[in-house]
């Protein structure tokens, strides 16, 4: 079947169950697409074809022996920030260009045990620092909708691979919008769960109090299928919360079966004027407001809420995140693992040259920013003050959620911009202006397709939920997608046959 890559996760699972195709056939289909088309996109760093074929053969044998796991034999791929035993795990960097992980991240293990087959590791901005996937040591990733555009970052490889039809779903990580912004740019649904819902064990850290693993799929349903095995308490992660995980997939099925003319009756959606200010592209705003009108037509009530000025939030994030990065990345010193400079003269030379040669410009910039913020003379003036503002940001969200169930806004202020635009760092950071508050407050959020510009570029709508309302976000997005077809549209690369 030449169109296997256009099927949803549910359709793939049903096809495997009903023996319409085997996992081996399915895996070969995706591997062939990667081999013949990824040269245009550059979404993969490592294609783990041999292990994928072995896993697919094993999955077929297990099904024949009576294994009834719904997802057994469905392909996927991981962002190259998640440690995978025996597989190169680079974090998109020169620093870890030769690092083969000796263990699995918890989510890698859980996803494998659910039956998914990993096809490899996906390209990303170096150490997850970037908004366009141009800072990767392995080269820029191209947007499958328009190869001259960026896919977003830092999980750009995950978004591009899913949008190109190389995998049906993929993992990503989100520190300040790194799942939601690429989902918006690539016409996908991207889910960032509540902080603590998904284990961070084995995810190479950028900013530990902000990082959260999540999912990419074409639809909310696809995301739910992948999130299900990822979510849950992990005693190896001190930030993991021991809280019952809902059955996301069943909740979506129940919601779909109970759809009436007004599926959102009783739902209050908050809209903050702070998210519709200066810098928002007019086409993006028009599509987002049209989506809100459709929610209203389907029974939802739109209410006005207020949140912290996004400019304040942006400044807070770019004080705290680099500070944590400065601390986390100090372990990469050329001594224990990763890149090591040639012929160091002494220990100081080893440290200095290994880090200077092993880290790219964007990573060095953020390390320096963070080190400055943590220095003795500026710690209280900058870092401590930013932590206090972070608390205010959370309190503003708490006040808003007393007035509404969810908050809606644009995911990104613009559609995907051109590759090699050579944006200055501040302009690039402004691309995260609508997403970073979610991470600072530890909230869940989802981005989903809400239309296309005249140039054919996707536009994303972001829904933000209160803590632990992940299921409500998935359900609300899923029901919206029963009344729209934006998520079914295929990118230029996905339309290509092989």
Q: What amino acid positions are annotated as catalytic residues?
A: 79, 154, 178
Token digits of residue 329? 């990345």
Across-strand partners of 121? 46, 78
Which residues lie closer than 8 Å to 43 by C-beta, 6 or more apart?
A: 122, 123, 141, 151, 156, 157, 158, 160, 161, 164, 166
Query: Which of helix, strand or coil describes residue 150?
Result: coil
Which residues lie closer than 8 Å to 384 by C-beta, 6 or more apart?
A: none
Q: What is the spatial distance between Cα 48 and Cα 51, in angstroms, rounded to a whole number?
A: 6
Q: CB 207: neighbour CB atoms within 10 A? A: 23
Distances (CA, A) of 113 to 81, 226, 248, 251, 437: 19, 12, 18, 22, 33
Q: Which of 477, 465, 404, 464 is nearest to 252 (CA)?
A: 477
Q: What is the spatial distance between Cα 94 and Cα 393, in angstroms, rounded to a whole number?
A: 36
Q: Which of 446, 397, 490, 374 is nearest to 223 (CA)?
A: 446
Helix (H) or strand (E) holding 464: strand 458-465
Query: Phi and psi of 322, rounded to 5°?
Result: -65, -30
Q: CA 175, 164, 62: angle at the middle one, nearest 5? A: 90
Q: What is the spatial distance between Cα 264 and Cα 57, in angstroms, rounded to a whole number?
A: 44
Token digits of residue 174? 């989100």
Q: Which of 219, 311, 281 is nearest to 415 (CA)?
A: 281
- Is 341 exposed, middle or buried (CB count within 10 Å of its CB: 0-12, 13-18, 19+)? middle
| Start-to-end Cα distance in the chain | 11
Q: What is the spatial distance between Cα 158 and Cα 166, in angstroms, rounded to a whole number?
A: 10
Q: If you write DSSP's letter for every residue of 383-407 in order, what string do you get?
A: IIHHHHHHHHHHHHHHHHTTT-SEE
Token digits of residue 347? 């220990």
Q: What is the spatial distance between Cα 188 and Cα 390, in angstroms, rounded to a whole number?
A: 29
Q: What is the spatial distance between Cα 5 and Cα 162, in angstroms, rounded to a whole number?
A: 9
Query: Which of helix, strand or coil describes residue 268?
Result: strand
């Amino acid at each position: 079947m030449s169109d296997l890559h256009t099927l949803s996760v549910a359709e793939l699972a049903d096809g495997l169950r009903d023996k319409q195709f085997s996992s081996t056939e399915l895996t070969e289909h995706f591997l062939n697409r990667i081999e013949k088309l990824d040269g245009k996109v550059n979404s993969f760093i490592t294609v783990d074809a041999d292990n994928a074929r072995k896993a697919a053969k094993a999955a077929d044998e297990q099904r024949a022996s009576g294994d009834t796991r719904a997802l057994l034999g469905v392909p996927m791929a991981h962002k190259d920030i998640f440690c995978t035993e025996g597989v190169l795990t680079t974090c998109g960097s020169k620093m870890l260009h030769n690092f083969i992980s000796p263990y699995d991240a918890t989510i890698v293990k859980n996803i494998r045990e659910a039956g998914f087959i990993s096809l490899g590791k996906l390209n990303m901005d170096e150490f997850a620092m970037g908004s366009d996937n141009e800072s990767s040591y392995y080269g820029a990733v191209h947007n499958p909708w328009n190869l001259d555009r960026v896919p977003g970052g830092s999980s750009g490889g995950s978004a591009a691979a899913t949008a190109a039809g190389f995998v049906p779903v993929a993992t990503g990580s989100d520190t300040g919008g790194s799942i939601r912004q690429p989902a918006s740019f690539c016409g996908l649904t991207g889910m960032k769960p509540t902080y603590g819902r998904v284990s961070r064990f084995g995810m190479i850290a950028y900013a530990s109090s902000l990082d959260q693993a999540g999912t990419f799929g074409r639809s909310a349903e696809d995301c739910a299928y992948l999130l299900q095995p990822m979510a849950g308490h992990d005693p190896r992660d001190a930030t993991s919360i021991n809280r019952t995980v809902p059955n996301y997939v069943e909740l979506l099925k129940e919601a779909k079966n109970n759809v009436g003319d007004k599926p959102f009756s009783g739902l209050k959606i908050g809209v903050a004027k702070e998210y519709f200010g200066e810098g928002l592209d007019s086409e993006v705003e028009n599509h987002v407001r049209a989506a809100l009108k459709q929610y209203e037509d389907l029974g939802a009530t739109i209410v006005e809420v207020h949140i912290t000025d996004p400019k304040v939030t942006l400044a807070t994030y770019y004080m705290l995140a680099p500070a944590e990065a400065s601390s986390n990345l100090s372990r990469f010193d050329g001594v224990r693992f990763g890149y090591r400079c040639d012929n160091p003269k002494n220990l100081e030379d080893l440290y200095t040259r290994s880090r200077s040669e092993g880290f790219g410009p964007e990573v060095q910039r953020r390390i320096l920013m963070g080190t400055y913020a943590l220095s003795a003379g500026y710690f209280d003036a900058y870092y401590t003050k930013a932590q206090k503002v972070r608390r205010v940001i959370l309190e503003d969200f708490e006040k808003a959620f007393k007035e509404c169930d969810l908050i809606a806004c644009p995911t990104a202020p613009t559609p995907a911009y051109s590759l090699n635009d050579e944006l200055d760092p501040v302009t690039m950071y402004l691309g995260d202006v609508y997403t970073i508050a979610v991470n600072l407050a530890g909230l869940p959020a989802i981005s989903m397709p809400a239309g296309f510009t005249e140039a054919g570029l996707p536009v994303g709508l972001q829904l933000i939920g209160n803590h632990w309302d992940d299921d409500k976000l998935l359900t609300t997005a899923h029901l919206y997608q029963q009344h729209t077809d934006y998520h079914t549209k295929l990118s230029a690369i996905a339309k290509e046959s092989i």
